[in-house]
Amino acid sequence: MRKKEGSQIKQELMNTYQKALELIQGSDEVIVVEEGGLKVIVLSKIPAFKQHENTYIPTLLLIKLRCRDLIPKAVVDEGAVKHVINGADIMAPGIVEIDEIQENELISIWEPRKETPIAIGKTLMNTKTIKEVRKGKAVKNIHHVGDKLWNLTLKIYIKTI
Q: How far apart are CA 102 and CA 122, in angstroms?
A: 10
CATH for 3-67+148-160 is: 3.10.450
Q: Which residues contact 79 (CB under 8 A, 6 or more apart)?
A: 94
Rounded to an integer, the average pLDDT of 52-66 is 93
Q: Where in the chain is the domain with CATH 3.10.450?
A: 3-67+148-160
Average the pLDDT over 23-46 and give the result: 92
Rounded-to-10 torsion of CA 92, 97, 101, 102? 10
CATH 2.30.130.10 residue spans of the chain: 73-144
> What's this model's pTM, rounded to 2 decimal places?
0.92
Mean pLDDT of the chain, nearest integer: 93
Distances (CA, A) of 153 to 20, 38, 89, 100, 145: 18, 10, 21, 28, 10
Pairing mode, strands 106-110 and 73-76:
parallel
Q: Given this structure, which CATH class describes domain 73-144? A: mainly beta
